[in-house]
């Protein structure tokens, strides 16, 4: 075989592999949506692809690797959707950019409740995003879209931060600061970031999981109010 033929064969193998991985993700996501997270197994995905379970092991070493790939895929999709929403507003308007991001997070979650649950409710152990997990970096690419805008608002200097932070918080917040690429954000400000994220996530989650149905037929205005509260906490001058 000549070098040219070898290179062509290598490209074909790469293409076949990429197509197989994309097919596996499409099938895994459909199983998740139609049957729930427990249905996403190596055997089930392989069967839909016309393979035996050992055949799929050429691409995924086992259940954990398959689920981690799906979680990473979904986080990347969500991060891209949030970034596109962010970029609808000018760079000099971090508060309005964050407002767009929050709205897109809610829209995506309501449109994809099973995917949202897999990412944020962690219904299976292999969906974790702890340091060392394959999906860890993808989860931070999603988180970075939100966190970077919070940092921009902090730079404006209008954020009210706690005067005294319990030392017990310090070690827990240090990991967040590690993802800020050297930005000298004080832990007190990061505490505010985490508190704001908890509000935003909570407002989305209770709606997605139907926990507001007892009181509201349209939680949209409540979510908009929550965004306003978060922007006020972050010191957005326009809030």
Round to whole Å and give the CA distance between 209 and 213.
9
The H-assigned helical ranges of 58-122 are 63-86, 94-111, 113-120
In CATH, what number is assigned to the domain containing residue 115? 1.10.357.10
R_g over Cα of the chain: 21
Per-residue confidence (pLDDT) for residue 234, from 0 to 100: 96
Give CA 25 to chain center in angstroms.
17
Give domain status of residue 28, yes or no: yes
- Assigned domain for 65 exists: no
Residues 17 and 119 in one domain: no
DSSP H or E segment with residue 6? helix 3-35
Residues 32 and 116 in one domain: no
Are 116 and 185 in the same domain?
yes
Whether residues 56 and 97 fall in one domain: no
- Of 21, 32, 140, give the one whose Cα is nearest residue 69: 21
For residue 71, the model assigns a pLDDT of 98
Specify if 222 maps to a domain: yes
Q: How many CB atoms lie within 10 A of CB 1?
A: 8
Choose the final residue of a domain: 60, 83, 104.
60
Whether residue 45 sits in one domain with residue 22: yes
Q: Which residues of the chain have pLDDT under 70?
A: 1-14, 181-182
In degrees rounded to 5, what are phi and psi of residue 231?
A: -65, -35
Q: Give the chain's domain count.
A: 2
| 7 and 84 together in one domain | no
Same-domain check for residues 8 and 103: no
Q: From CA 173, how far away is CA 187, in angstroms rounded?
A: 7
Is residue 118 exposed (0-12), middle (13-18) or buried (19+ Cβ within 10 Å)? buried
| Whether residues 127 and 40 fall in one domain | no
Task: Report if residue 238 sits inside a domain.
Answer: no
* One domain for residues 140 and 87: yes
Quote the DSSP letter at residue 221: H
Q: 135 and 216: one domain? A: yes
On whether both 146 and 199 belong to a single domain, the answer is yes
Residues 197, 171: Cα–Cα separation, whole Å: 18
Residue 122 covered by a domain? yes
Residue after which a domain boundary falls, among 19, 40, 60: 60
Can you give the pLDDT at residue 85?
Answer: 98
Rounded to whole angstroms, how far apart are CA atoms 38 and 17?
A: 25
The 10s digit of each residue's pLDDT in 26-73 is: 999 999 999 999 999 999 999 999 998 888 999 999 999 999 999 999
The CATH code of the domain that includes 1 is: 1.10.10
| Token digits of residue 50 | 């016309």
Nearest to 208 by CA among 102, 77, 107: 107
Whole-number Å distance between alpha carbons of 185 and 33:
39
Range of the domain at 42: 1-60
Pair 118, 159 in one domain: yes
Q: Please indicate, yes or no, if residue 214 is contained in any of the structural domains.
A: yes
Residue 159 lies in a domain: yes
For residue 9, is it within any domain? yes
pLDDT computed for residue 168 by the predictor = 82
């Amino acid at each position: 075989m000549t070098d040219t033929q070898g290179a062509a064969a290598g490209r074909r193998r790469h293409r076949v592999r990429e197509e197989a991985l994309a097919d596996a993700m499409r099938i895994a996501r459909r199983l998740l949506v139609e049957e729930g997270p427990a249905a996403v197994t190596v055997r089930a995905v392989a069967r839909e692809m016309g393979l035996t379970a050992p055949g799929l092991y050429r691409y995924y070493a086992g259940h954990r690797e398959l689920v981690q790939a799906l979680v990473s895929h979904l986080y990347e999709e969500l991060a891209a959707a949030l970034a596109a929403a962010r970029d609808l507003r000018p760079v000099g308007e971090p508060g309005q950019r964050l407002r767009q991001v929050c709205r897109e997070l809610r829209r995506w979650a309501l449109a994809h409740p099973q995917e949202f649950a897999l990412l944020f409710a962690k219904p299976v152990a292999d969906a974790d995003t702890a340091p060392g997990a394959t999906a860890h970096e993808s989860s931070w690419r999603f988180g970075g879209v939100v966190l970077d805008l919070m940092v921009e608002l902090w730079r404006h200097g209008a954020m009210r931060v706690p005067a005294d932070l319990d030392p017990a918080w310090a070690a827990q917040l240090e990991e967040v600061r590690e993802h800020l690429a050297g930005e000298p954000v004080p832990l007190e400000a990061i505490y505010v970031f985490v508190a704001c994220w908890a509000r935003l996530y909570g407002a989305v989650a209770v709606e997605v999981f139907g926990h507001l149905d007892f009181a509201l037929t349209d939680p949209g205005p409540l979510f908009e109010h929550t965004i306003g509260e978060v922007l006020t906490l972050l010191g957005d001058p326009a809030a």
